[in-house]
Structure 1
């Protein structure tokens, strides 16, 4: 696939890194020569200096033969124009744009991005995507990761396995006997820094981080089995009143007025903007790494601290300080993939990676077959995919025990209509089912083949 990416910042570079590593032909455009040189030096991708909204630059990038344009610069209007030109002049089939301003995303103006006006196929809003993921994490604070697909019937959670966990050292096939009616499937684990698929004869050990598919109404029960059934926080302190911080605080105000929210912001303009936009949240102008400021927002009595500034180090260090001063739990926004391993040892409970979320959304449109949702884990070491089974899929029509799935693949759940189904060897997948799959990176092409439409279908 030939892909043009406009913007070589954190988001654009992350997308280029992943797509080029998978063998796609990638060209990255940016007006900053240093960022272009970084692409040339570190990725198997072409770097082009210029403005992605200029026709001559897109022509140089190969837009005449491109399969997809992804516009993720810092400026919404540049991204819109790039998609418009890609459609009108070069007839690029798929156009994806990053849109940050919430005014453009207001449902009242929903026709703006139609084919007749601004022909954008997919809109990415990393700040909103990150904000919604943080809100999900807050609803289930015992989980390290929460992955929700479009149907919403099944969640995939990552949860720590400790010595006192009720499901430790037990073959997975025995879990349904020990816990009747448990709608959950352990698909894999992070063990010693590596992702592994777990099959029914294998077991979890202390120190693992389990990847579990579970029906939404049983998430609390599953977290309880892992000893992580924790109540949602009612007193929250947020460091950072930028796009993400204001979005999270505003959504909390909308959905649960009983929750107390306090924001700490070191930029006076951002602090002023947050104070004007938010109705009940308390906004404090100051540094979240300063002990006196943290005492001022009563961090000792807070249930959760969210480090949501634009600086990874500030988010990590302020989370550690909050924990040391008595806050019960913390989540840090971290873009650098190598930070979490160290930060976890310092006492950071959970992480949110904006770049990974954006890459996951883009991959949904790159993957072949009827892939409806994609979420990357461990910087691409594994993926959770939601795929539609068609009549021509090799999985349809026979019990799962008759299929010899590759060792790097595990089916976690099936959604049939509105009913989630946890698979056994006797389960038969039907055409129209949505299947949630855990796959290691080396097995991703095999997953695509399992759900690809046969030529005979047409």
Structure 2
């Protein structure tokens, strides 16, 4: 059990606090809004303190002297920076994680370093979301795409098309059709309910299927699409932190147009980008979209800070001929309403929380991703110890006594990807890619990966 202080009781802070509390940690949350804390008390059984997170007296009241970690996720970067600095310099808290939104704090060109403010790790929502959207665009047909083990392992989720060649067939038949493609189906969601598949599992239309493979073997994704054509044209709505970063990442491989209503922002973005066409206009202007060839756009990405504008512009783009739409939407109530009208709906909160959980839970957990269905998660863990000090080293996967809600997808050993089967023996330093249908099982998994005292 860790003693953790969370600075900020917003959507991310409260969600992280609840998840870490459910994991069995001792959580204290600090916020300067009394109403926020009153609302939290009705939902979460944690200690709360009203006050400014940068005040030493407030951190002292949260028992910072005996704290293992702080997570700074207030709405202001400057508060997060100062709070982490205070927690280190005055209370010597071992680990400090801060969420920073402004690109100036992330750009090495300006000489800013995390240790200026005693931060161990920075969580940047704009960079996380940029990577998330780019992964989806790089894997046509996917509604989720993420990487493990430094990109060696790819996980792609796609909805099976009624006319597609996978529809109505057993997984074993799929393997026969693509004998040289090493791909593992690690989870299927049917009507939002999970299935851990085997060779006899039949894939049905509208199933949401999670595939795991190396990048080389992900070429089979064309099987799930109506066409084998790769995307070329991307239109981005919004030139803020996410929009400008996304254009920068995409413009070397795609034809990119970016629309931004603010004239000054448009000018600044245009100066920083190379080949992206920057348009100073309203993203919901039908005449503009028509003149800029919306019917030939493969991906329309609405990434402004306005949920309603992202929804409206995505729906308009879809109606006018854009092949796929991606929208960043903060409010969960909005996401539920438009999930069937917009091809890919992304929650900034979920993406940020996944990264925070990877930083917080244990040093053995490298990365965590939410699957977007209930409490399901995918995570990467590192195995330590030997057969004497570890509960899992030297054992076959079939001997691990995993909960029914846990499925091992792959083992990465010395940069080699091994798609999991029950006969694989676990070795020290293996990276295990694992899927949990219920994140409450994380504490059981962590105990399995712990080494006995004396290993270090």
With normalisation by structure 1, the TM-score equals 0.89
1:282 equivalent in alignment to 2:280 = no
| TM-aligned CA distance change 1:49 to 1:83, over 3 Å | same
Of 276-285 and 445-454, more deviation after overlay is shown by 276-285
| TM-aligned CA distance change 1:81 to 1:230, over 3 Å | farther
1:264 equivalent in alignment to 2:259 = yes
1:246 equivalent in alignment to 2:244 = yes
Residues of 2 paired with 1:31 and 1:297: CA distance? 47
- Structure 2: unaligned runs, 5 residues or longer: none
Q: CA deviation at 1:192?
A: 1.5
Equivalence for 2:393: 396
1:184 equivalent in alignment to 2:183 = yes
Residues of 2 paired with 1:34 and 1:272: CA distance? 40
8 Å CA contact retained: 1:197, 1:407: no
8 Å CA contact retained: 1:195, 1:378: no
Residues of 1 paired with 2:15 and 2:265: CA distance? 27
Q: CA deviation at 1:144?
A: 0.9
Equivalence for 1:147: 146
2:210 match: secondary structure: strand
| TM-aligned CA distance change 1:87 to 1:379, over 3 Å | farther
8 Å CA contact retained: 1:303, 1:328: yes
Of 240-249 and 388-397, more deviation after overlay is shown by 388-397
Q: Name the Cα RMSD after superposition.
A: 2.6
Alpha-carbon displacement from aligned partner over 1:207-247 (angstroms, at most 9, x marks no partner): 221122111111122x1333467544322211111110111
| TM-aligned CA distance change 1:245 to 1:96, over 3 Å | same
Alpha-carbon displacement from aligned partner over 1:90-133 (angstroms, at most 9, x marks no partner): 1222110122333333346778324xx43211111110111111
Equivalence for 1:448: 446
Residues of 2 paired with 1:269 and 1:7: CA distance? 31
Equivalence for 2:436: 439
Q: CA deviation at 1:248?
A: 0.8
Equivalence for 1:71: 72
Of 104-113 and 234-243, more deviation after overlay is shown by 104-113
Q: CA deviation at 1:82?
A: 1.0
1:355 equivalent in alignment to 2:356 = no
Q: CA deviation at 1:5?
A: 1.8
Q: CA deviation at 1:379?
A: 6.1
Residues of 1 paired with 2:435 and 2:447: CA distance? 15
Superposed, 1:286-435 pairs within 5 Å as 286-346=281-341, 348-368=342-362, 370-378=364-372, 381-390=375-384, 391=386, 392-435=389-432
8 Å CA contact retained: 1:141, 1:230: no
Which of 268, 271, 274 does residue 273 from structure 1 map onto? 268
Equivalence for 2:205: 206
| TM-aligned CA distance change 1:278 to 1:377, over 3 Å | same
8 Å CA contact retained: 1:237, 1:297: no
Q: CA deviation at 1:399?
A: 3.4
Q: CA deviation at 1:305?
A: 0.3
| TM-aligned CA distance change 1:405 to 1:182, over 3 Å | farther
Residues of 2 paired with 1:433 and 1:56: CA distance? 44
With normalisation by structure 2, the TM-score equals 0.89
8 Å CA contact retained: 2:391, 2:450: no
Residues of 1 paired with 2:424 and 2:168: CA distance? 26
Alpha-carbon displacement from aligned partner over 1:360-395 (angstroms, at most 9, x marks no partner): 111113324722111122265111111112224433
1:206 match: secondary structure: coil
Residues of 1 paired with 2:228 and 2:339: CA distance? 19
Equivalence for 2:231: 233
Of 404-413 and 331-340, more deviation after overlay is shown by 331-340
Residues of 2 paired with 1:378 and 1:301: CA distance? 29
| TM-aligned CA distance change 1:224 to 1:294, over 3 Å | closer
1:410 match: secondary structure: strand
Alpha-carbon displacement from aligned partner over 1:64-84 (angstroms, at most 9, x marks no partner): 232211112333332222111
8 Å CA contact retained: 1:76, 1:98: yes
| TM-aligned CA distance change 1:407 to 1:25, over 3 Å | same
| TM-aligned CA distance change 1:367 to 1:110, over 3 Å | farther
Equivalence for 1:83: 84
1:50 equivalent in alignment to 2:51 = yes
Q: CA deviation at 1:333?
A: 0.7
8 Å CA contact retained: 1:369, 1:452: no
| TM-aligned CA distance change 1:446 to 1:141, over 3 Å | same
8 Å CA contact retained: 1:3, 1:24: yes
| TM-aligned CA distance change 1:345 to 1:36, over 3 Å | same
Of 35-44 and 430-439, more deviation after overlay is shown by 35-44
1:435 match: secondary structure: strand
Residues of 1 paired with 2:34 and 2:154: CA distance? 42
Equivalence for 1:101: 102
8 Å CA contact retained: 1:238, 1:245: yes
Q: CA deviation at 1:413?
A: 1.0
Q: CA deviation at 1:175?
A: 4.7
| TM-aligned CA distance change 1:182 to 1:271, over 3 Å | same
